[in-house]
Amino acid sequence: MRELTVALGERSYPILIGSGLLAKPDLIVSRLPSPQVMIVTNTTVAPLFLDRLKQGLDQRAVKVAEVILPDGEAHKNQETLALIYDALLANRCDRTTTVIALGGGVVGDMAGYAAATYQRGIPFIQIPTTLLSQVDSSVGGKTGINHPRGKNMIGAFWQPQLVLADTETLTTLPPRELSAGMAEVIKYGLIRDLPFLEWIEANIGRLMACDAEALSEAIERSCANKAEVVAGDERETAKVGGRALLNLGHTFGHAIEAGLGYGQWLHGEAVAAGTVMAAELSRRLGWLSQADVDRIRTLFAAAKLPVVGPALGTEKYLDLMGHDKKVLAGKLRLVLLKGLGKAVTWGDTGKDDIFAAIDACCKAA
C-alpha cells in the first residue's frame, strides 16, 4: 500500500493507494467519529462493490445506510442531491455520521457536497472507483453540483478525512473511462512535472493495457502533484498560478461539455480536446513549438482521447467560456503552457488568438 498526505494543517488527510483496499474495513473504521455511515453510490457501482464494503463495515458493528443514485453527469443536479439529504434525514444521521462516497467523480462531488452542507458539515470519506476520480476529483476538497447555466456552479470546499484508492476497482472500468482518467494523468505532467510526462510517454502502452504496477505508479505521482498544488492554495485564491493551473484545458473543455449537453462527452475527453486548444493558443503566443503541440496530440491519441473539439461554432465556445469560474472581474483568464511541464494563468490573451486556436482545433461548423 502506498500512502501520501495532503498537508492542510488541521484538515490534513491521507491518500491510501493499493490493490484490495476495499476489503480492509479497518482502514475506514479507525477514522470514524461514531459507528454510523451513509454510503453514497450509483446504480453502476453498487452491484460491483457495495456489498464488499458493507460486509466489512457490518462485521465491525458499524451502522450502515446507503443511497444509490442514478449514474451519470446528467444527474449531478439539485434533484439527485435531494435524494442524499432525504436519506440522511430518514436515517436520522447526525453531525457525527460519516458520508462515504463510493464511485466516480460525480458520486464524489455530490456526496462531498451533501456532507459539506448537511447540518452545516459532517465527516466524509472518498472511495473513488474510476481512474479519473482516483487521480483528480477525490483529492483536494472540491465538491458541488451543476446548474443548468454552468458546470460546478454550486459547491463548497470540503476536505475528506480519507481517500481510499483501490486499484482493483479499475479492472471493471470501461476503456473509454480509463482513457478519460488518463487525460488528467497527462495533465499533471504537462503543467508541472516534465519527468512524469516523459515517464507517461514511455509507459502509455502499459497504462492502456491496465498494467497494475504502472497504474499504481501513475496514480501516486498524479496525487503527489495534486496534493502539492492543493496544499499551496487550498481555496484557489492564488492570484497567479496555484490551484488554477490544475484547470489546464478545462475552460475550453467546459465549453465542450456545456455546448454538447453534459454527459455527451466524458469530462476527461473534453479536457483532452480543450488542452490541445490551450496548447495551440500557447504556440500562437510563441511559448510552445509546433513539435511540442504535436507531441501533446500524439500522447492524447495514444491514450485514445479526442484531439479535435466538436463543431459548436467559435462564438458559442467563447460565450460558454465566459461562464466559466476562471473569469475574474469580467476578464477571461486561461491556463496556458510556457513550455512542457510549465503552466501559467494568463489573462491577457486577445480574442482573435483565442478564436484562431479554437478554429484550428475543432471540427468545421
| Residues annotated as part of the active site | 120, 142, 184, 226, 236, 243, 247, 250, 254, 267
Minimum distance from residue 64 beta carbon to its own copies (Å)? 15
The answer to the question of residue 363 lying near its own copies (CB under 8 A) is no
103 DSSP β-pair partners? 128
- From 18-26, 150-158, 192-200, 265-273, span contacting its own copies (CB under 8 A): 150-158
Among 61, 202, 291, 329, interactor with its own copies by CB under 8 A: 329
CB 142 within 8 A of CB 157: yes
Q: Where is 282: in which H helix or E strand?
A: helix 267-284
- Calpha distance 21→28 (Å, rounded): 10
Confirm or reject binding of residue 302 to its own copies (CB under 8 A). Answer: no
User: Is residue 151 at the binding interface for its own copies, with CB under 8 A as the rule?
Assistant: no
Nearer to its own copies, 304 or 325 (CB): 325
Candidate segments 77-85, 196-204, 258-266, 283-291, binder of its own copies by CB under 8 A: 77-85
- Is 149 among the residues that bind its own copies (CB under 8 A)? yes
Q: Which residues contact 231 (CB under 8 A, 6 or more apart)?
A: 6, 7, 8
Whole-angstrom Cα Rg for the chain: 20
3-state secondary structure (DSSP) of residue 338: strand
Residue 114: closest CA among 70, 151, 57, 155: 155
C-alpha–C-alpha distance, residues 110 and 77, integer Å: 8
Q: Is 60 in the site for its own copies (CB under 8 A)?
A: no
Q: In this structure, what DSSP letter does residue 38 have? A: E
Measure the N-to-C terminal CA separation of the chain; round to a whole number of Å.
Answer: 49
Residue with smaller CB distance to its own copies, 6 or 200: 6
Q: Choose the binding region for its own copies from 18-26, 83-91, 102-110, 283-291 (rule: CB under 8 A).
A: 83-91
With H, G, I as helix, E, B as strand and everything else as coil, classify residue 155. strand
By beta-carbon proximity to its own copies, the closer residue of 144 and 189 is: 144
| Cβ-contact 185, 300 below 8 angstroms | no
Query: Site for its own copies (CB under 8 A): which residue of 27, 106, 116, 357?
Result: 116
Rounded least distance, CB 327 to its own copies, Å? 5
Q: Does residue 226 interact with its own copies by CB under 8 A? A: no
Residue 120 CB, nearest distance to its own copies (Å)? 4
121 near its own copies (CB under 8 A): yes
Give every CB contact of residue 181 below 8 A, 6+ residues apart in sequence.
Answer: 130, 131, 132, 133, 134, 135, 136, 173, 268
Q: Is 89 in the site for its own copies (CB under 8 A)?
A: yes
Contact call for residue 96 and its own copies (CB under 8 A): yes
Which residue ranges make up the site for its own copies (CB under 8 A)?
A: 34, 36, 78, 82, 85-86, 89-90, 92, 94-96, 116-121, 142-144, 147, 149-150, 152-157, 235-236, 322-323, 325, 327-330
